[in-house]
Chain A
């Protein structure tokens, strides 16, 4: 029980520097942290924003046109693009986690490959819906 790892000082408090520069996540780690970040963004502000847009667009014809006009503004489109990315990533990574839960793709190679797929598919979907938005 006196391996090098066991002799390291514990607990190790992670500095911002360590988080940003020293810790290098493997690809599945990136899928995971972005799943968390995208989830938080979807809860707030995006859920509130979309509910507001749904509310205004269903209220009246002029409200609907106003929402349509708002969605045409470049900055708003950029916000929409972030929403689309967050949704696509959360969706794809979520399906991966569901498959892992039922023991599909838990071998290292498959897990790496599916992480790669999550990024590939979610970014492709983001590009597709982003293009439709513009």
Chain B
């Protein structure tokens, strides 16, 4: 086993590390959102809208969306590399995945700031 350093040059370790860091970000966001929803006042349109209008929630949600895109890109690419053998089809599906994830991020920005 070659000794590889996480903070050194890229051996694929960067994707590996990014997937784990984004996982932690999303896990924390999910738990915090769940606690806010379960312990806050009963959900109405006003409460819901105010929650997503607050500055920290907008930033946190955008961070979540960005994390999801990066995390899912690494994960979906792994799946495609494992199961899709023809190069052309794999490339097409990878491009589709990138477009889908970029759309998610763009859509999130649009929902949060309008």
Which chain A residue has the least Cβ–Cβ distance from B75?
A39
Q: Are A51 and B79 in contact (CB under 8 A)?
A: no
Identity of the chain B residue whose Cβ is nearest the Cβ of A51 in the assembled complex: B107
CB distance from B70 to the nearest CB of A (A): 12
Give the shortest distance, in Å, between B79 (CB) and chain A (any CB).
Answer: 6
* Assembled-state Cα–Cα distance A44/B69 (Å): 12
Binding site secondary structure of chain A: helix
- CB B113 to nearest CB in A, in angstroms, measures 11
Using Cβ atoms and an 8 Å threshold, which residues of chain A touch B24? 98
B100 near A44 (CB under 8 angstroms)? yes
Which A positions have Cβ atoms within 8 angstroms of B?
36, 39-40, 42-44, 47-48, 51, 54-55, 57-58, 61, 64-65, 87, 91, 94-95, 98, 101
Tell me whether A47 and B79 are in contact in the complex, defined as CB-CB below 8 angstroms, given that A58-B111, A91-B30 are known contacts.
no
B101 contacts across to A, CB distance below 8 A: 43
Report if A54-B76 is in contact (Cβ < 8 Å); known contacts: A91-B30, A98-B20, A101-B20: no
CB distance from B52 to the nearest CB of A (A): 6
Residues of A contacting B110 in the complex (Cβ-Cβ under 8 angstroms):
55
Which single member of B20, B45, B97, B111 contacts A51 (CB below 8 Å)?
Answer: B111
B114 nearest CB across to chain A (Å): 8
Interface of B is mostly: helix
B63 interface hit (Cβ, 8 Å)? no
CA distance A55 to B109 in the complex (A): 11
Nearest CB on B from A20, distance (A): 15
Known pairs A36-B79, A87-B30, A94-B27 / 6 extra A-B pairs, C-beta < 8 Å: A39-B72, A43-B72, A43-B76, A44-B100, A51-B108, A61-B45
- Pair B23/A98 contact, Cβ less than 8 Å: yes
Beta-carbon contacts of B66-99 to A below 8 Å, as 1s and 0s? 0010001001100100000000000000000100
* B49 proximity list for chain A (CB < 8 A): 58, 64
- Counting from the closest, the 5 A-B pairs by CB-CB distance are A64-B45, A61-B45, A43-B72, A55-B111, A39-B75
Bound-state CA distance A87–B23 (Å) is 12
Contacts of B79 in A (CB 8 A): 36, 39-40
Smallest Cβ-Cβ distance to A50: which chain B residue: B104
A82 to chain B, nearest CB (A): 17
Measured between beta carbons, the chain A residues less than 8 angstroms from B107 are 51, 55
Name A42's closest neighbour in chain B (CB-CB).
Answer: B72
